[in-house]
A and B are shown apart, each in its own frame.
Chain A
């Protein structure tokens, strides 16, 4: 079997045992990137030289008898929203074209420490704002299942890279669903850890109180291994949780649900959901029941207000977070002809450097924070946030995990919702509550929708710091489905 078809855990074991070298593994993936990425456009930057160098260093350490971690030498695709001092960092925006930061994000540094080989930086919706990766200034990424469809977003480059075997692992960030939704629509696993469980230092901020780095992989165990590799307390991030990383790898290995109480969120599913998505979701729930879980319906009435609350909170924070991109200290500068004022140059730079969705959200956020509107919009949204946390709290008194479809539809065609923001925003309907309350949540594949033959995701939500439960239930579902399907869902994808 080709090296690019293996799981991260398998590759790590092969490298550790010396059966294959990290350089061979890296080269195989670089070859795959060269072969398919011209069609997929998952990468904004491929760092072949530094990847091979990192691989050689892993091989040298092994040769010297050093004990390597489980992912040493394993290639990874890194979302281009994390700073990397040896590669450009653009956040998918023209305003940062060619920008090279002088420091590594904490996640980047921890990937390097774990011996992971960074193949390059992946495409994303500009500043992680979007659900399709169409908002990238560098062209859309395509879904490996159907190149005319979106790979989800904002971490669409990362989901597509893993789903098209360009890398066994990738990083993402999830602000309203930007890991789970792309994972769902590309038929892979994507996890949003508990907020503060993974460091935001060096993650170019979209919405500070929501942004969460997390892993993509083709199976639950690989996701857990990556989760463990880059998570944990960071003194550079004030909102980082000072606790042990939950035992995610152990949970992924365990993978059973006998006696577990599973709640089906009553508010999710109904009008606006694709029938194939609902059908696959119901089958997944039945499967859980057949595996010994106790399934009950749970009502979380405030969840229906999550989407509007999110589209006030996230743009508000973004309008402030993105103010620093003004052409004064780094990045693009437009219109500085010696006569214009700093104010004019800032406005011209930002108008030229930001795409339409970013401008839309900056203005929306500016509006929501304006004097006279603050209470009605931003203030009310913060109250909804409290209500959602209360709904979760009440629900987790009754059940151990909550489940829902990850996203209401399968991957939609590129261009379909491009200039219809409201339609685009609906993609995050089910994923947003976990961001607002800081909970852990994962998406695992649960089959193909009968209408279009495209992947559907099952979302499993756990309490704050209950990340291990997501992996435990996810692994159980994965195992049962793979038994039924005779392998991973991804084997159904057309070969590229």
Chain B
């Protein structure tokens, strides 16, 4: 049984903001299916009693003091922007409202 369907790949591409052509979807579906089938092995040893590690080392509590540092100038901030208007980043129209 395949681990991942073409529709799922299409969904993943949408979630990841990748505009993929149909033939690409097919191609990635096959490859991802192979990869996922291989990596799924991790579940064999991941028993309930093992705590997960999100970090390489068990360090904690690293903070910085609430002190100002120099910001970029607007010129520096906007230098690489594809489009600028009124010292702001100009972006295409936004659909929907997230926040």
Contact = CB atoms under 8 A, between A and B. Distances in A.
Interface of A: 99-100, 102, 195-196, 209-210, 235, 238-239, 241-242, 302, 305, 308-309, 311-312, 319, 323, 326-333, 336, 338, 340-348, 350-351, 354, 359-360, 362-364, 366-367, 370, 376-377, 379-387, 389, 421-422, 435-438, 464
Contact of B41 (A196, A308, A332): A308
A209 B53 CA distance: 10
19 contacts: A102-B72, A196-B56, A209-B56, A241-B57, A309-B42, A341-B93, A341-B95, A342-B95, A344-B19, A347-B17, A354-B18, A370-B15, A379-B52, A382-B54, A383-B50, A385-B52, A387-B45, A421-B31, A438-B57
A389 B53 contact: yes
Given A100-B80, A196-B57, A238-B62, A319 B16 contact: yes
A176 to B, nearest CB: 13
Contacts of A329: 80-81, 89
**Contact-residue size bin, chain B (C-beta under 8 Å from the other chain):** 35 or more
Nearest to A322: B16
Among B28, B39, B59, B93, which residue has the most Cβ atoms of chain A within 10 A?
B39
Interface string B30-67: 01101110111111111100111111110100101000
A364 B38 CA distance: 12
A330 B13 CA distance: 22
A344 B13 CA distance: 12
B65 to A, nearest CB: 10
Contact of B32 (A196, A319, A367): A367
B8 to A, nearest CB: 8
Contacts of B92: 336, 338, 340-342, 344-345
Contacts of B16: 319, 323, 350, 359, 362-363, 366
A387 B50 contact: yes
Given A239-B56, A343-B95, A366-B15, 8 more contacts: A311-B35, A311-B38, A323-B16, A376-B43, A380-B46, A381-B42, A383-B46, A385-B53
A337 to B, nearest CB: 9
Contacts of B46: 379-381, 383-384
B19 A350 contact: yes
Given A346-B17, A350-B17, A364-B36, A437 B56 contact: yes
A382 B80 contact: no
Contacts of B20: 351, 359
Nearest to B29: A363
